Chain A
């Protein structure tokens, strides 16, 4: 049991508002959504009083596995692209002269000055069947007249990557900026080529940044709604759209809640799993230490 030192009290006072905020505006609503998914729907868009698993019947609809797979797949691909594109950018900025780094970071942040919806609309214009990009590609004979750049999964992936790339660059930049590059020299010195140094020393060295980048891209991508709604056709539909459809079109809150609950679980379970594995591993290591201590009679 920790004693209440003045320092502890101070810490508690300072962190209390944000904990309160998260509790009231985040945890409680999430639990409300979860509980709602186990209720019956009433015909007027409200929720009934009795317990029911009716809300989860979407899971067994024939279209559900496809949408779930598409959601995970698109989020996964978005994450990969953001890492692949974000790493070189973050590396370039982190290795630039100190005085230029702030300017380069500003360039990454500038898109946020424009409203997100407007930027997605801009993509609609760029990718429009009669838009400039299409005309150009047709003129260059790269695509045929009747391909559509818009309203398909490709368009969704493109706009997802566009949207989340800056979020990936920020943690990657922070990690690379802190990375000690004499480690690369040490690795080269010990006989490793550039590629091996990259995979064995550089990537593990910035793993914290990679984990953060994956978190801030993959998790929001899973819950995307606006992007697939606006640039995706029927084959670009994601779980977020399904939830919106249940809530706004069908006016069936329990079914929307049930899907939301699934999405929350899909995000939370892997994180908890990861933590458990890490815990077990470090415990395993602690056990492995015991015989070695005995051996040397310490």
Chain B
């Protein structure tokens, strides 16, 4: 759908040689931090920008030079952009009126849309009289009523609060199931992207880092950027010491025992790599693990923890390293005595659960700085919230 697209604003290249194609009926997400070019890509698709290079193709037709009103795509804007002087009904009817449909057809179609978004009672209200979530639904209905070939959604949930965002996410999914139109979804929230999309394109600095299903992108990221942007992970800088048949590598890491890891791609001894292990893949307990159960085990001290309800996040000091592990609460936690501050604990993970990434010296610095604003459906706490969570915990837990 996008072919070698480039767009520059002044000296800033917003989108750099991007090609990707979206299947009909798919929910496709463009995911990346702000300024990565995802919104520009969306605006190129809607026709608000024209590419400096490359083509935008819709259904085999080059639409790069068509004005927005001639394109069979519709947009749900981040701030909704509902017409303030029109009622909800007139907002939804706008596209149909412009298309010159007769008023009985318009009434039928708008009423059908009002049913879909459950806003029949509010049809005569002005946008200023309805809530944020309702505005959101009207914005979606206003776009969908025109039966676009692609529905473009520009951070449609960003302005809503957490609970509403989760509900709208489910509603969006249901609407997509009902209308079956292709959704192109722009977001910086990995949780939204993962839960809604069929496929995700992770973008960084105007380029696409990886395209894949949510599970592929999460479980098997191809770059450190993707690994760090989607979910949390522990990065260990290491060097491949030796190949271990059938398809594993032993990795030397400063200050840790050697780690065993599955090879996603061929590795040779001496390669500089990142070993990345997701926190939920790491087991944690007070007692040592049997080495035939887990290839990688190590001992450390609990430095910090945050109780998250369904799980507890631990920061465990192992020599120079601070390892993050997520302890799932499968049992009633108050009957157990989970490890607490200063406790000695054992960590363990399978060789298949980590993955190796080529080291890019420059990106690493940035990754470690990156704020985690995209919480996994709000279950996670970002590091800057850590202290707050801790206080709440220390007063409530009673050791």
Chain A positions within 8 Å of B, measured between CB atoms, are 180, 182-183, 185-193, 196, 200-201, 204-205, 207, 285, 288-289, 292, 296, 298
Contacts of B79 in A (CB 8 A): 180, 182
**Which residue of B73, B81, B124 contacts A186 across the interface (Cβ within 8 Å)?**
B81
A189 touches B85 (CB 8 A): no
In the bound complex, how far is the Cα of B67 from the Cα of A192, in angstroms?
10
Contacts of B121 in A (CB 8 A): 292, 296, 298
In the bound complex, how far is the Cα of B82 from the Cα of A183, in angstroms?
7
Q: How far is the CB of A210 from chain B (nearest CB, A)?
A: 13
Contacts of B143 in A (CB 8 A): 189-190
Inter-chain contact total with CB atoms closer than 8 Å: 70
**CB-contacts of B107-124 with A (<8 A):** 120-121, 124
Contacts of A201 in B (CB 8 A): 83
Q: Mark B54-90, 1 if CB is under 8 A from A, else 0.
A: 0000000000000111000111010101111100000
Please, which residue of chain B has its CB at the minimum distance from the CB of A197?
Answer: B69
Q: A185-B48, A186-B83, A296-B121 are in contact. Are A192 and B98 (CB under 8 A)?
A: yes
Interface residues of A, dominant DSSP: helix
The answer to the question of B211 belonging to the interface, with a C-beta cut-off of 8 Å to chain A, is no
Contacts of A185 in B (CB 8 A): 46, 48, 68, 75, 77, 81
The answer to the question of B25 belonging to the interface, with a C-beta cut-off of 8 Å to chain A, is no
In the bound complex, how far is the Cα of B75 from the Cα of A191, in angstroms?
11
In the bound complex, how far is the Cα of B123 from the Cα of A289, in angstroms?
11
Contacts of B85 in A (CB 8 A): 204-205, 207
Contacts of B83 in A (CB 8 A): 183, 186-187, 201, 204-205
**Which residue of B46, B82, B124 contacts A189 across the interface (Cβ within 8 Å)?**
B46
Please, which residue of chain A has its CB at the minimum distance from the CB of B95?
Answer: A190
Contacts of A188 in B (CB 8 A): 47-48, 67-69
In the bound complex, how far is the Cα of B98 from the Cα of A192, in angstroms?
6
B84 touches A190 (CB 8 A): no
Q: How far is the CB of B201 from chain A (nearest CB, A)?
A: 22
Which 5 A-B residue pairs are closest in the complex by CB-CB distance? A190-B95, A186-B81, A188-B68, A182-B81, A204-B85
Q: A205-B85, A207-B85 are in contact. Are A288 and B124 (CB under 8 A)?
A: yes
Please, which residue of chain A has its CB at the minimum distance from the CB of B145?
Answer: A190
What are 8 inter-chain pairs, A to B, with CB distance below 8 A?
A: A182-B77, A182-B79, A185-B77, A188-B67, A196-B98, A204-B83, A204-B85, A296-B120
